[in-house]
Amino acid sequence: MRTRTRSAILALTAVLAGSGVHAQQVRVGDLTIAESNVPVRLVGYGLVVGLDGTGDRAIGGFGARHTVQSVVNLLRNFGVEVPAEILRTRNVAAVLVTAEASPYLRPGGRIEVQVASMGDATSLRGGVLWATPLVSDPGQPPVATAQGPLLLSEGVAARGGYSVETSARIPDGGLLLAALPATTVTPASRLLLREPNIGTALRIAEAINTEIGANTARVEDPGSIALTVTDTAAGPMAVLGRIADLRIERRTVAQVMVDTRDGTVVVGGEVAVGQGVVSHGGLTLTVGATRTEAPTPGEVRVATGASVQDIAAALHAVGAPPTVIAAIFESLHKVGALAAEVKVR
């Protein structure tokens, strides 16, 4: 029996290795979230100040009127009255501020916030977000506030591409002021998979039933596992903690992620690309080129068996914009030359 079991395991390992699917031990807590732990989204409207003439183009009552009125209201709060018609806001930009917070975060906790221009500002670089109230729903009282200097991506302008400078983030720029909507953890709850997959859900349920007790977990669908905890002497949170620390074997498929803002390409492991030709705009990529003469302007050639990293480096070397890089990898995947899932963000 042991010989046959070992032979089956070896055969399965060979199949996984040959198919490009890799197995790894992963914590259940890294694959799921408790049903009651869904993040709370916060939003606010604010002003970024301190810009170097790259803010909203408004002079008095013309242009970005919402920015002018916001500055007037801000100054009025400090007892300063300035007529709107004489204001120039080239150093100010109106922005939308968003964030996500755990429902268990307590007042005093900090969160990262995202900032995006709402007007015609050309760049937020060098700006500072003025104290901005954040709410969970429009019309509700503020539960957090955000402020601080903006952090922007360096982009790819130096390589001939372009850099998006109308959005930014502030690490730990949000401060929780009030408790978020209360969340109750009951003995009967659910685990929600971050990436729904029936195979992963079945393995998680099997691990829970083996460790905690039979019939504790039941797969409802590829994204949900129902929990029924009968022994609550230690409390439901203790049980959820034990479940989160369980490890299962997850099979992962190679992925390629392309950031269209700065051209960053991230790939899990060495992924080879098969032969193919992609023409996009004025750029042509040839994988498995056999021609010996020098490439013409706008032509990129890589050898057969080149990895995703090799192709990304070649495209960056000729200054390909991030959107073009993303389109090329998506095209390679569609024609079957790239055996990896391509995600563009």
Taking the chain (345 residues) in consecutive chunks of 10 residues, what is each chunk's mean pLDDT? 40 39 75 85 92 78 68 76 71 92 91 93 92 89 95 59 79 92 61 89 92 89 88 73 86 77 74 83 80 75 83 85 86 83 83
β-bridge partners, 341: 255
How far apart (Å, rounded) are the C-alpha atoms in residues 6 and 1? 9
pTM of full prediction above 0.85: no
What residue type is assigned to position 191 of the chain? L
Strands 21-27 and 188-193: unpaired
What is the structure's pLDDT at 308? Answer: 85
Helix or strand or coil: residue 144?
strand
What is the structure's pLDDT at 224? Answer: 93
Instruction: Note whether 107 and 178 are within 8 A (CB).
Output: yes
What is the structure's pLDDT at 231? Answer: 63
Listed in sequence order, the residues at least 6 apart from 196 whose beta carbon sits closer than 8 Å to its beta carbon are: 221, 222, 223
Count the neighbouring beta carbons within 10 Å of the beta carbon of residue 155: 17
How far apart (Å, rounded) are the C-alpha atoms in residues 22 and 17? 7
How far apart (Å, rounded) are the C-alpha atoms in residues 216 and 229? 6
Q: Cα–Cα–Cα angle for 209, 211, 214, nearest 5°?
A: 30
What is the per-residue pLDDT across 293-323, written as a single tens digit (0 to 9) for each? 677 777 888 887 788 888 888 888 888 888 8
What is the structure's pLDDT at 45? Answer: 93
Residue 214 burial (C-beta neighbours within 10 Å; 0-12, 13-18, 19+): exposed
Distances (CA, A) of 142 to 70, 169, 180: 18, 20, 10
How far apart (Å, rounded) are the C-alpha atoms in residues 128 and 215? 54
